[in-house]
Structure 1
Amino acid sequence: MKKQRLIIRTVILLVLGAAVIYTLYANFTKDDNPEIEVGKKAPDFVLTDLNGEKYRLSDFEGKGVLLNFWATWCPPCEREMPYLEQQYQNYNDEGIQVLTVNVGEATVTVKEFIDRHKLTFPVLNDKNQEVLTAYGVDPLPITFLIDKDGIIKKIHKGEIINEAVIADMAKEIKP
């Protein structure tokens, strides 16, 4: 009986010790990425679209950028795509660039989604989810409004619920 209690206590102590070690390890090795906040410079990145064309965020300085992260399996993401497409059509000639970043899904899956929704704005693929991590994206969808100087003006977490909301977003970053 005493031997059994000793074994149980030892196991519990080992589990607690492992938890403490893991917590310390996680805290000391966490990324030193700067916090993504309104009023700070948006992290620059280079991603390619589905045709292999490269897009660098800093190339759009002087324009407002509506940067949206999404996935094909995300129903709110799918519902907001027509609004993004409409604003791309409305504001692309007025100094606002819509860039959408898919979170690393297969190219064929993303192409089918684009074709089904007749999307014409740039769809970038973050295959390694490096940009997703740099921007601290969680949950999807999330939209960053970036002004002409590359400063984050607003972070909209969740679904863009109607055309008026996204039109207001576009006006907020219009140069």
Structure 2
Amino acid sequence: MKTLRNMNRRNLCIAAAISLVAIILIAGNANATSIKSQQPKKGDPYTQQYCDLNKAEDFSLGNGKTYYSKLKPGEENILLFWGSFCPHCENVFDYIEQSGCKRAIERNLFTVSEDDGIEAIEQHKGEFPILLDSQWKTFDQFNLEHLPSALVIDDAGNILGSAEGEHDVKAMLDEYVQRNR
């Protein structure tokens, strides 16, 4: 009788251990699935949300062209406001240059320079599209306060993310690269 009771206890312990392992495996698999489903997709809002604008203002590029005409269909685009006089802006450009994801960033990068003249932006000529905004009209149109400032905009002009200041702009660029590989 004692042997039978010991065998039942042992079987009960084994069954409990197997059940516990099964519960742990199922819970771990469910957690991994929920983590995968939390990965942001194109069109989802970014973690960086500095400005309260939902829609990007369209602005003229001259000759009847507008910024919206430059947005790449089906893609997230970066609009970066900067000035050659701003060391933090130059640090952002150095960061882009030194990152392993320069091509991913620059393929959809459009910049607005707040410099007084074309000679100030010569060092970046040909690297990416640059609009010279010497009167700060476009900068003011977006109600921005600091340089550098960046917006991630979809092809419909919706602002998905926004950042002002060197640190936040770099963080948003990192998030952009993660989402647009």
TM-score (norm 2): 0.58
Q: Are 2:89 and 2:148, in contact at CA under 8 Å, matched by a contact in 1?
A: yes
Report how many aligned residue pairs link the two structures. Answer: 127
What is the aligned partner in structure 1 of residue 148 from structure 2? 141
What is the aligned partner in structure 1 of residue 56 from structure 2? 42
Secondary structure at the aligned position of 2:146 is classed as: coil
Secondary structure at the aligned position of 1:124 is classed as: strand
Residue number among 151, 161, 175 corresponding to 2:158 in the alignment? 151
What is the aligned partner in structure 2 of residue 107 from structure 1? 118
AA in 2 matched with 1:133: D
Q: Do residues 76 (structure 1) and 88 (structure 2) align?
A: yes
Cα distance in 1, alignment partners of residues 168 and 176 from structure 2: 12
Cα RMSD, aligned residues only = 3.0
AA in 2 matched with 1:72: S
Q: Are 2:148 and 2:169, in contact at CA under 8 Å, matched by a contact in 1?
A: no
Q: Are 1:104 and 1:126, in contact at CA under 8 Å, matched by a contact in 2?
A: yes
TM-score (norm 1): 0.60
Where does the alignment leave 5 or more consecutive residues of structure 1 unmatched? 1-35
AA in 2 matched with 1:120: E
Cα distance in 2, alignment partners of residues 77 and 152 from structure 1: 21
Cα distance in 1, alignment partners of residues 64 and 104 from structure 2: 24
AA in 2 matched with 1:138: E
- Change in 2 beyond 3 A, CA 1:83/1:55: farther
- Higher Rg: 2
Where does the alignment leave 5 or more consecutive residues of structure 2 unmatched? 1-50
Secondary structure at the aligned position of 1:153 is classed as: strand
